[in-house]
Amino acid sequence: METMKLRAHIGADGILQIQTPTDFKDTSVEVVVVVQPLPNAEVATSEETVPQYNAWGKPTTKKSITEAITKMQQLRQEVALDKTSIPSMIEEGRRF
């Protein structure tokens, strides 16, 4: 069993949307939801950040984003074409 406590906002349409990653995959689960309104003062002063998750359900952090950018830059250097080889590639393409 996994217990989570989170804060959410119910929009003007009255619909509560909850998106949270779990370790459960392709299985039926029982979910218990307790909705308790927060006092207005607590809502106004709350500056908690809502956790963000990547496509794999892992929480994103400043460190994970920096690592992803570094990996993308490394990959770009690995697959980059040498500027001097581009004219010969164009010429090669004209032969066909």
Q: What pLDDT is recorded for position 48?
A: 57
More confident residue, 1 or 31: 31
Q: Has this prediction a pTM greater than 0.95? A: no
**C-alpha span between 20 and 71 (Å, rounded):** 26
Q: What are phi and psi of 70, to 5 degrees?
A: -60, -45
Q: What pLDDT is recorded for position 47?
A: 53
Q: What is the pLDDT of residues 24-80, one digit of tens each?
A: 888 888 888 888 888 875 554 445 567 788 788 888 888 888 888 899 989 888 888
**Domain residue ranges of the chain, discontinuous segments joined by +:** 50-94
Say whether pLDDT at 15 is over 70: yes
